[in-house]
Amino acid sequence: MKNNIFIIAEIAQAHDGSLGLLHSYIDALAETGVDAVKFQTHIAAAESSEFEQFRVPFSYVDKTRYDYWKRMEFTGEQWGVIKEHCEKKGVEFISSPFSIAAVELLEKLNVKRYKIGSGEVSNTLLLDRIAQTKKPTILSSGMSDYAELDQAVTSFQKQNIEYSILQCTTAYPTVPAQWGLSEITALKNRYQVPIGFSDHSGDIFACLAATSLGAEILEFHAVFDRRMFGPDAKASLEINEIKTLVKGVHQIRESLQTQVEKNDIEKYKELKTMFGKSLCVNKNIQAGEMISIQDLESKKPGNKGIPASRYQEILGKKTRVDLKQWDFVNFEHIEI
């Protein structure tokens, strides 16, 4: 983690059930500079039923949402290999569980932390099981009001769990009016814990803006190409965009963490002279003529005549000597 910001790229279902594609994502994302690669651990029998409806009717091969989750499943052994691949590439493995069975699977893998999807915030059964692990937890707030968030937070506080919250809007993709960036400060003030931003905009601007507002965690969906198959593809960032985002985020954080002393201008002394302006006359002036503002111009450098900032001191004063057009004016040229 660089500059105290934790950047999570979420693959989610972008692998479409293919282990080969999933591992390709890990390789590609590890090169972007993200801190973690996030997945979703689905165990269809434990989390879904034949009555669950599709959020987006995208699938050509799955008759039901249950069938889709079934196709997204991996075995415990396969998840272990996935986690090892992430660690080998220097990124943290994170996965959101959607059932108690998924938590048990992830516990066997000894994950470092948990991420709770916004749809699970009111699932006290799941939250309490995760709290029992005593591991840091990231809570997404997309579909939750403050009452539901308060309840979840109270549960974590009772268990003395380290937690953080992500401002999130559950819309795929979100438009700027839906980002809810103002909630970052509101959440910070309300809960006094690290606050982040979970993005579904499909562009880099929301995360950059969230960083400038003090977000300490960023999460976004990743995809090789937004034209790919899947429910989240249009709301995802492509690999090359992620590289640009990560670079921008770190530069913004470095800037926010660096105190600039505005009154310390000594280092600009030479530049101020170079770019400074001195008074000159814009026409020939004979000795004894009275100086008016129409007679004056300012030109560089700033150490050849009266500073342009002091021009009023010579208005209405007579010249002692003849001045040619574009001559610098000094106080000895003026009857003071």
| Domain contains 325 | yes
- Whole-angstrom Cα distance, residue 161 to residue 99? 19
| Domain contains 50 | yes
Q: Do residue 175 and residue 286 come from a single domain?
A: no
Q: pLDDT tens digit string along 196-255?
A: 999 999 999 999 999 999 999 999 999 999 988 777 889 999 999 999 999 999 999 999
CB 216 within 8 A of CB 238: no
CA angle 146, 148, 154 (to 5 degrees): 95
Residue 267 DSSP code:
G
> 293-318: b or e for each residue (b if 16 or more CB lie within 10 Å)?
eebbbbbeebebbbebeebeebeeee
Query: Pick from 205, 228, 257: which residue ends a domain?
Result: 257
Q: What is the pLDDT of residue 55?
A: 64
Q: pLDDT tens digit string along 304-332?
A: 999 999 999 999 999 999 999 999 999 99
Calculate mean pLDDT across residues 40-61: 75
Q: Do residue 190 and residue 288 come from a single domain?
A: no
pLDDT at residue 169 above 80?
yes
Query: Pick from 257, 290, 324: which residue ends a domain?
Result: 257
pTM: 0.85
Out of 41-55, 76-90, 103-117, 258-272, pick the least confident.
41-55
Q: Do residue 203 and residue 297 come from a single domain?
A: no
- Whole-angstrom Cα distance, residue 311 to residue 137? 64
pLDDT at residue 195 above 80?
yes
Q: What is the pLDDT of residue 16?
A: 86
- Whole-angstrom Cα distance, residue 321 to residue 324? 10
Domain tally for the chain? Answer: 2
Q: Which structural domain, as residue segments, surrounds residue 179?
A: 6-257
Q: Do residue 250 and residue 280 come from a single domain?
A: no
Tokens coding 48: 């879904």
CB 173 within 8 A of CB 234: yes
Q: Do residue 271 and residue 327 come from a single domain?
A: yes
Q: What is the pLDDT of residue 57?
A: 64
Q: What is the pLDDT of residue 54?
A: 64
> Smallest Cα–Cα separation from 170: which of 95, 96, 241, 232?
232
Name which residue leads in pLDDT, 93 or 48.
93
Calculate mean pLDDT across residues 51-66: 69
Q: pLDDT tens digit string along 276-285?
A: 999 999 999 9
Helix, strand, coil shares of the chain, percent, nearest 5, are 40, 20, 40
CB 314 within 8 A of CB 308: no
pLDDT band, residue 261 (cuts 50/70/90): confident
